[in-house]
Amino acid sequence: MRTSIVAGNWKMNGNLKANAELIAKILKEASRYDGIEVLVCPPAVYTAQVSDLLEGSVVAVGAQNASAFGKGAYTGEVSLSMLAEFGVRHVILGHSERRALFAESDEQVAQKSQAVCDAGMVPIVCVGETLEEREAGKTLEVVSRQLKTVLESIPVEALAEVVVAYEPVWAIGTGKTATPEQAQEVHAALRALVAEVDADAASRMRILYGGSVNAENASQLFAKPDIDGGLVGGASLKANEFIAICGAAAGAKVTG
């Protein structure tokens, strides 16, 4: 049985006051997160604040991105060891916004994934097709290419710990969610791809769905056999929505 994960991706949102209020509300309901892993990924500059607020709780702080390089002349970058000092273990990599707006390539995502694994941390590797690619029937081809590049660059021993997030680009921030069936099809294909490398790791790997997950659609998505939780953007900024999504993941685990 895999432990589900709900990860909040705050993107470039928040401020000291709003962060404190949101975390306080999330922690109030922490008893509802039994049996799952919950993390929030604030902008890097708030890592220390959020890490302090979460100290001693069941909710962990994660990162939205990190440098593949250890240290040195990389202006504007944040290293893994810096994030680790503030308790970060999980790092979102290859989010479609980074791929589309900051030109991150499959190779860069793979390089970063390798660095995260080498640091003993956990990459949350995002893959997903655009609407155009889906309509051209290329969904599985695209997500397989994206994941394959990562699989080729990380050690097999680290594979089971890696988290994958299937995030169809057309569903991100649009209010248009993939149906549970559409998502399940892709999740099963991704797991099969991992199984070609290591069947045991594939059965243990958590594959999250992301793209307009909300309190209403979460339960149905999480009920699917290969959907092991969610990577939540917009709804992770609203305490009630995020808490309900975590509750849905915990509930799916009990009944699933």
What CA–CA distances, in Å, run from 57 to 26, 28, 86, 130, 192? Answer: 10, 10, 14, 37, 35
Q: Which is nearer to ligand PGA, 201 or 208 (CB)?
A: 208
Q: CB of residue 56 vs ligand PGA: minimum separation in angstroms?
A: 27
Q: CB of residue 73 vs ligand PGA: minimum separation in angstroms?
A: 31
For residue 175, with 0-12 CB atoms within 10 Å meaning exposed, 13-18 middle and 19 or more buried, which class applies?
exposed
Q: Which is nearer to ligand PGA, 148 or 238 (CB)?
A: 238
Q: CB of residue 161 vs ligand PGA: minimum separation in angstroms?
A: 20
Kindly list the residues in this chain that would bind ligand PGA in the complex (CB under 6 A): 9, 167, 172-173, 210-213, 231-235
Q: Which is nearer to ligand PGA, 201 or 221 (CB)?
A: 221
- The whole-angstrom separation of Cα 65 and Cα 244 is 26
Asked if 125 and 163 count as a contact pair (C-beta separation under 8 A), the reply is yes
- Report, as residue numbers or ranges, the catalytic residues: 95, 167
- 206 bridge partner residues: 163
